[in-house]
Every structure is written in C-alpha cells, then in structure tokens.
Structure 1
Amino acid sequence: MAEHREHERRWPASVAVLAVLALQVVLPHQIAAGTWWLTPALELMLLLPLVVTNPVRLDRETAVLRSLALLLVLALAVVNAVHLARLVAAVTSGESTDPRVLVQAALLIWTTNVVTGALGLWEMDRSGPFARDPRHGRPADRPDLLFPQMTGVPGWDPQTWRPSFLDYLFVSFTAATAFSPTDTAPLSGRAKVLVAAIGSVSLVTIGVIAARAINAL
C-alpha cells in the first residue's frame, strides 16, 4: 500500500487563509470593522513567514513559527466574531439595510468560520501537524479527533494514516452544517469546545439571516 503523504502538505492551509483574507477585503463596509484593508494586511503579515518557511510541505518548525500559526488562527477567529457581532447589530438595530448586503456578509462570515475552524482543528489535533508527522520525531499527544481511518476501516492502515488539512476542513464543514459531528468524533475537551464553537457561530449566522427574512415578510 502506498504511503499516505497528504498530511505533509502545507499549501492547502495557506490557500484557505488567503481565500479568507480575500473575503475580508470584499466584506460589505457596513459590516467590516475599521479600515477595509488593515485587518487582512495584519493577518497576511502573520501568514507570510509560515508560507516562506514551508511553502509546499511541512519541512521546518520553530517555536516562533508555531506561535505565529496559533496567533493567526486566533486573529481570524476574533475578527470573524467582530464581523458577526456587527451583522447582528445591523439586523437588530431597526435601520434599513439592503438585504443583499446582509446575505453577502452572512455568507462570507459563514465561510470564514468553516475555514478558521479547520485551521484551529489542524493546529490543535495531537499538538499540530508537525507533531503528527513521524518524519520530525516529535512525540504526538493523544488524538483530539477520532477519524474513521483510525479505527481499522478496510483499505486504510491506522498505523500510517495521518489526517490532512482537507480532513479537518470536512470536519469543520459538517460542524457548521449539521451542528454536530458526523463521521469524525471529538475526543478531547478542547476539540469538543472548538466543534461547538464552529456550530454556534454558524447557527447564529444562519439564524440572523432567517430572522431578517421573516421580518421582511
């Protein structure tokens, strides 16, 4: 059986972050917090060292890079929370706001929530992608998530299989759409909190738009 090497790829996570930064740039000004370009620019500054050091694969890690990666996830989550709060305020203020603006903002916030949640799970599970990668010789913590491939499913070797960023993106997507785990179970307390947070942000975002639609009837 060919060795599973997708877990070594860095570029899918980098592309996902760049997509989120692009969404922040096009976020309607009624919802965006502060100068439209400042927040994405600051987050891009956190991303650049990670991309330059590991542009394609996970080959090098330092304490500084690890801190930057975690800070980037935190920054994306905080900024998206601010945008969600401004969306709620826009809907509940009673002021007239173009429904198209609200729907566009909600879609961007929801998408950012999914990507940020995936990044958070990717950086958290077993203490991060480098700890999960056997090439680097770092002891990994206990799994925070139980993927089906880890349970002895025929065709998958649980001893060599490692989750890639796409696997975490799928977990985040299902948490944001089903509001609960589907095929992958959170094991640790921190994983449960993060999955619950992904679902909560998604629920509030969808609920706000639903309430606005009902009021418009």
Structure 2
Amino acid sequence: MVGSKHTRRWPASLAVVAVLVLQLIVPAEVLALPRWVLPALGAAMLVPLVWTNPFHLRRDEPWLRWIELVLLAVLVAVNAVYLTGLIVYLTNGEASDGAVLVKAALLIWVTNVVAFAVGYWEIDRGGPFARAPEHDRPAERPDLLFPQMTADIPGWSGWLPGFTDYLFVAFTTGTAFSPTDTMPLSARVKTLMAIQSGISLLTIAVVAARAVNVL
C-alpha cells in the first residue's frame, strides 16, 4: 500500500514549488525583501524533503516534518510582510496602478491558501505519516472533521483525506473567511484558520476593493 493515494507527497511539494515561483513575479512596489530570498530559502528546505520522499511517504524522519513546518512559517511570515507592504503602499496614496494592486493581492491570496493547506495537511492527526494506515501507527485524534467521517456513506468506508482535501479546506477558508463543510476541532487548527481568514480578509476587503476603485 506504499503507493496509496493518501500518502502521496508530490501534490504538496508541487503546490509549494508553484508558490515559490510566484514570488518571482511579486510587484516591486510591495517588495520588502530581495526577490530571490524566499525562493532560495524555500528551495533549500524542499530539497531534502523531495530527495527522501519524492513521490510517496516512505521514510519518516522527525527532522523532515520540522523542515516542512519551518518552510510553512517562512511562507506565512514573508506573505504577511508582503501584505503589510501592500497596505503601506495603499495608504501612502501611491496606489495609482490598479493592475499592480490586483496582481499583488492575487499572489498574496494564493500563497496564503497554499501555505495553510500544507499546514493543515501536516498537522491533522499528527501528519500524513500518522494518518497513513500502511505505517501502522496509533491514530491521533482528528484536528479536522470531514463530512466523510460523520456518516457511514456507501463507497466511502475507510476514507482518509489527501492533500486535495486540505487544499479545498484552505480555499474555502480563504474565500468564506470561515470553515464550510469541514469543521475545525482542535485549538491549533482553529487558531490557524483564524490567522488565514484574517490575512484573506485584509487582502480582499482592503486591498482588492481599493484596486477595483482605482481601475
């Protein structure tokens, strides 16, 4: 069962790579750091993760999970810096180019969704290794309650969430500013959802709204 769809790493790695590439096109008006800093740091932390588990989760090393969590913290922190820079750019009265505002807001929002999607994937029930049945680990209590876990639905027996499910949770949290069909159970995930919703709210309600007015 090593090739189980529930233990694939490559979707999460691909999503992070896509976000790191997006950092290369962040508008210069909101850059608070050299453009290469985040992609370089992210690539340095991704290399050992992809090298040890390129497609499926076969090797479980505690330091691998810590590297993943550090990468997420860096993504969220730099994204918050970009959002702050965008808000400063907006409040200084220099925001005369609506295209720059829309582009920057979109990049910040996408980064926000992907970073927290990987975060939920890494945290829920102790991470993907702890959730995978083929690794025969004692299950931790769920941090997220998916609809498939609440009822005995034909065809969904033994279902486990994959990265796409966590990406959907992050997407709906970033658009609705709250959970939709999947409920947070633990305090740590509720805290993460509150932070993600706050970043999305500032990006959409403040920045994007102003961009529409400029356009």
By the TM > 0.5 criterion, same fold? yes
Cα distance in 2, alignment partners of residues 120 and 17 from structure 1 = 11
The one-letter code matched in structure 2 to 1:11 is W
The one-letter code matched in structure 2 to 1:26 is I
2:96 and 2:214 in contact (8 A); partners too: no
Deviations 1:61-114 (A, max 9, x none): 111111101111111111111111111111111224421111100000000000
- Partner of residue 191, structure 2: 193
* Runs of 5+ unmatched residues, structure 2: none
Shift of 1:208: 2.0
Question: Aligned to 1:155, what secondary structure does the other structure show?
Answer: coil
Cα distance in 1, alignment partners of residues 9 and 145 from structure 2 = 22
Shift of 1:32: 2.1
Shift of 1:211: 4.5
Residue 132, structure 1, aligned to residue 131, structure 2: yes
After superposition, the CA RMSD in angstroms is 1.8
Shift of 1:148: 1.0
1:24 and 1:32 in contact (8 A); partners too: no
Question: Aligned to 2:115, what secondary structure does the other structure show?
Answer: helix
Deviates more, 1:137-146 or 1:206-215: 206-215
- Partner of residue 178, structure 2: 180
- Partner of residue 105, structure 1: 104
Deviations 1:145-170 (A, max 9, x none): 0011112223211xx21110000000
Deviations 1:163-194 (A, max 9, x none): 10000000000001111111111111111111
TM-score (norm 1): 0.92
Shift of 1:138: 2.5
Cα distance in 1, alignment partners of residues 38 and 208 from structure 2 = 28
Question: Aligned to 1:30, what secondary structure does the other structure show?
Answer: helix
- Partner of residue 203, structure 2: 205
Shift of 1:216: 3.8
Structure 1 residue ranges, 4+ long, deviating more than 4 angstroms after superposition: none
Deviations 1:4-62 (A, max 9, x none): 93211100001100110011011111112221112211111011111111111111111
- Partner of residue 156, structure 2: 156
* Runs of 5+ unmatched residues, structure 1: none
Residue 18, structure 1, aligned to residue 17, structure 2: yes
Deviates more, 1:73-82 or 1:31-40: 31-40
Cα distance in 2, alignment partners of residues 96 and 144 from structure 1 = 41
2:102 and 2:211 in contact (8 A); partners too: no
Cα distance in 1, alignment partners of residues 139 and 108 from structure 2 = 33
Taking the TM superposition and a 5 Å limit, the aligned residue runs for 1:73-152 are 73-151=72-150, 152=152
Shift of 1:140: 2.8
- CA distance change for structure 1 residues 36 and 153 in 2, over 3 Å: closer, same or farther? same
Cα distance in 2, alignment partners of residues 19 and 71 from structure 1 = 18
